[in-house]
Chains A and B, each alone.
Chain A
Amino acid sequence: MTASLYWYLREFARIEWVRKFFFARTAPLVTPAHFRGFPEPTGKACQHALSCMMVCPAVGAIDVVHEGDGWKPRIHKGHCIRCGLCVEACPNGVLMSGRVLETMQAQGTALLVSFRIAIDRDLCTGCGNCVTACPVNKQIDAQLGAGGHSSNDEVIMRVDDGDVQVLHEEKCTGCKTCETSCPTRAIQIARILEGIQQPVEGVGP
């Protein structure tokens, strides 16, 4: 009895015990360097390539907006799933997330984004909504007619003889505005992604 009482007194009189009892703190939450967090701007100027917006798997998590005198990616953290695809898809290294950017720069990996326009001829009525809705078309040909007719050969698509013709698929930015404006869902934009690697000399395994 006396021995155990003595043991308890000695145990609880220890300075470490007293300190732990009265000043217990949870360890601070530190995000480790290897964690793939929300994308953040690196400070490089956005070139308005829009790849980040087009590959994002979470709808509405990232958009590129015109602010002041330049473009800027804006991240909505409530929607972002922290996948890091936007960081890999950006050709100019505007975004960073954890160590995704430095790893991909060291290893020469990248994601190539391209777009394909598919028109279902059976469904297409030739109304020209897609042609007039397309923001790139508007920029190229300001005189674009309401029926989708254009005399400019540089537009992405135009209505010829009551049918939509795709002329320059490579100019498509994948925004899907045409897809949403089509009354019969005849036009569809495919966002195609390819993971590539060009190993950097002297770096790697």
Chain B
Amino acid sequence: MKRTVDVNIPLGPIHPCFKEPARVKCETKGERVIAAEVELGYMKKGIERIMKGRPWQEVMFLAERVCGICSVIHNMVFIEAMEQISGIAVPPRAAYLRVVANELDRMQSHLLANFSYCYTIEHETLAMYLLDLREQVMDLLERLTGARVTCAYMIPGGVRCDIHHEDQAFMHESLDRIETELQRYTGMFENGPMIALRSRGIGILTQEAAREAHVVGPTARASGIAEDRRTQHPTYKQLGFTPVVRPGCDNYARIMVRFDEVSQSIRLIRACLDGLPKGIIRGGGICKAGEIRYSGEAPRGELTYSIKTDEVGRVAEIQIQTPSIMNIEACCHSMIIGADSIADVTATFVSADPCIACTER
């Protein structure tokens, strides 16, 4: 009898390349991967159950604790969903400040994702450079909101605090510095021959396969699908946002999409700060009863909150749909299959930027 599978190699749940626990089981023939499976469920928090029956001021903090890397967007989508339910209008200045906070968060998340990819392909120098760059973005986020990770910046009807004059100047200055460094690192990644050997043509996710797997976020945009929830957001529409798309379909394209989105975020923040409308930052308003399904674009893709509130604005029912689960599934079904070595499996898995904390909530 002919054996089709040589060894079943498990990667994880604790693995130096993974930021969070997940197990990838690879069926291999020689070094070649012929099938893969992902096992999740190592860190289920049950956070949706905890959210039930609580008012927005408590759910807001729980929402941003769903995921530590993309906390601002969780806060933003939850608060905007509550605003849509209750018919609360946001002052224009607050809407612009929200975009600034959200884009800073996206920058740090993408830089962390790229750090982790570079670290996985053993380009530690570039990885550490990117981590250093991320730290500067985190400092900007801290200046704006008062905290690095759990910012709690947005509340129904506006934002917590306005941007200070001196911080605005500091932010412009820092963004210039970050942009120069980012161009240098992007060039290092783009033109590195060894990086190209590890990234180009590896982890192919064709456009058809991507559509089939319902891939979202930078992973979809690297497969040539122009899908971005920000195009439907009113403030982003005012800023003339267009998504970054690349037709590469491989690991290289996914990382480059993230690099491009970081520089796009810098441009968006500059546009926001230059055109910051004058006026108040909080319009007031009390949350009411209602039901809605609202989406926003997280750094990893489309994030959806389905919320039902009772007559005093407490969350009666809530479901969160996070982007990573689709990307992880696409990773097992298309990207990893046919990888030439196990080292490529970890690199491909990391290039899809899986966020297990989001996925398992």
Q: Select the stretch in B52-60, B101-109, B197-205 that faces chain A.
A: B52-60
A146 at the interface (CB under 8 A from B): no
Q: Please tell me if the beta carbons of A196 and B57 are within 8 angstroms of each other in the complex.
A: no
CB A12 to nearest CB in B, in angstroms, measures 24
CB A165 to nearest CB in B, in angstroms, measures 19
Q: Select the stretch in B20-28, B139-147, B238-246, B257-265 that faces chain A.
A: B139-147
Knowing A190-B312, A196-B284, say if A55 contacts B147 (CB, 8 Å).
no
Q: Please tell me if the beta carbons of A190 and B284 are within 8 angstroms of each other in the complex.
A: no
C-alpha gap A37/B306 in the complex (Å): 33
Nearest opposing residue in chain A for B165, CB measure: A205
Q: Which residues of A contact B283 (CB under 8 A)?
A: 197
Knowing A32-B142, A109-B281, A205-B278, say if A195 contacts B58 (CB, 8 Å).
no
Nearest opposing residue in chain A for B167, CB measure: A34
Q: Please tell me if the beta carbons of A81 and B61 are within 8 angstroms of each other in the complex.
A: yes
Knowing A81-B150, A116-B312, say if A197 contacts B142 (CB, 8 Å).
no
CB A103 to nearest CB in B, in angstroms, measures 5
- Please tell me the number of chain A residues within 8 Å of chain B, measured between CB atoms: 33
Q: Select the stretch in A68-76, A82-90, A151-159 that faces chain B.
A: A82-90
Knowing A83-B152, A116-B312, say if A196 contacts B286 (CB, 8 Å).
no
C-alpha gap A82/B61 in the complex (Å): 11
C-alpha gap A204/B280 in the complex (Å): 8
Q: Which residues of B contact A57 (CB under 8 A)?
A: 57-58, 60-62
Knowing A100-B146, A190-B312, say if A195 contacts B161 (CB, 8 Å).
no
A177 at the interface (CB under 8 A from B): no
C-alpha gap A78/B61 in the complex (Å): 17
C-alpha gap A199/B282 in the complex (Å): 10
Q: Which residues of A contact B287 (CB under 8 A)?
A: 192
B301 at the interface (CB under 8 A from A): no
Q: Which residues of B contact A36 (CB under 8 A)?
A: 145-147
Q: Which residues of A contact B312 (CB under 8 A)?
A: 116, 118, 190, 192
C-alpha gap A192/B150 in the complex (Å): 22
Q: Which residues of A contact B147 (CB under 8 A)?
A: 35-36, 82
Nearest opposing residue in chain B for A205, CB measure: B278
B110 at the interface (CB under 8 A from A): no
C-alpha gap A34/B161 in the complex (Å): 12
B171 at the interface (CB under 8 A from A): no
A193 at the interface (CB under 8 A from B): yes
Q: Please tell me if the beta carbons of B146 and A195 are within 8 angstroms of each other in the complex.
A: no
B73 at the interface (CB under 8 A from A): no
A125 at the interface (CB under 8 A from B): no
Which residues 305-343 of B have a CB within 8 angstroms of A? Answer: 311-314
C-alpha gap A158/B142 in the complex (Å): 49
- Please tell me the number of chain B residues within 8 Å of chain A, measured between CB atoms: 39
C-alpha gap A85/B60 in the complex (Å): 12
A181 at the interface (CB under 8 A from B): no
B279 at the interface (CB under 8 A from A): yes
Q: Please tell me if the beta carbons of A191 and B55 are within 8 angstroms of each other in the complex.
A: yes
CB B46 to nearest CB in A, in angstroms, measures 17
B158 at the interface (CB under 8 A from A): yes
A194 at the interface (CB under 8 A from B): yes
Q: Please tell me if the beta carbons of B284 and A194 are within 8 angstroms of each other in the complex.
A: yes
B271 at the interface (CB under 8 A from A): no
Q: Which residues of B contact A84 (CB under 8 A)?
A: 146, 152, 160
C-alpha gap A2/B36 in the complex (Å): 57
A91 at the interface (CB under 8 A from B): no
Knowing A34-B143, A104-B161, say if A192 contacts B55 (CB, 8 Å).
yes
Q: Which residues of A contact B157 (CB under 8 A)?
A: 194-195
Q: Please tell me if the beta carbons of A193 and B276 are within 8 angstroms of each other in the complex.
A: no
Q: Please tell me if the beta carbons of A197 and B57 are within 8 angstroms of each other in the complex.
A: no
Q: Which residues of A contact B56 (CB under 8 A)?
A: 193
B156 at the interface (CB under 8 A from A): yes
Q: Which residues of B contact A204 (CB under 8 A)?
A: 162, 278
Q: Which residues of A contact B62 (CB under 8 A)?
A: 57
Q: A34-B142, A84-B146 are in contact. List 6 more A-B contacts (CB 8 A).
A: A34-B146, A35-B146, A116-B312, A195-B158, A197-B158, A204-B162
| B residues at A contact (CB < 8 Å) | 55-58, 60-62, 93, 142-143, 145-147, 150, 152, 155-158, 160-162, 164, 167, 276, 278-287, 311-314
Query: Which 8 A-B residue pairs are closest in the complex by CB-CB distance?
Result: A36-B146, A190-B312, A197-B282, A57-B58, A196-B284, A57-B61, A195-B155, A195-B282
The 9 sampled A-B contact pairs (Cβ below 8 Å) are A35-B147, A57-B57, A88-B160, A103-B161, A109-B282, A118-B311, A192-B312, A197-B281, A204-B278
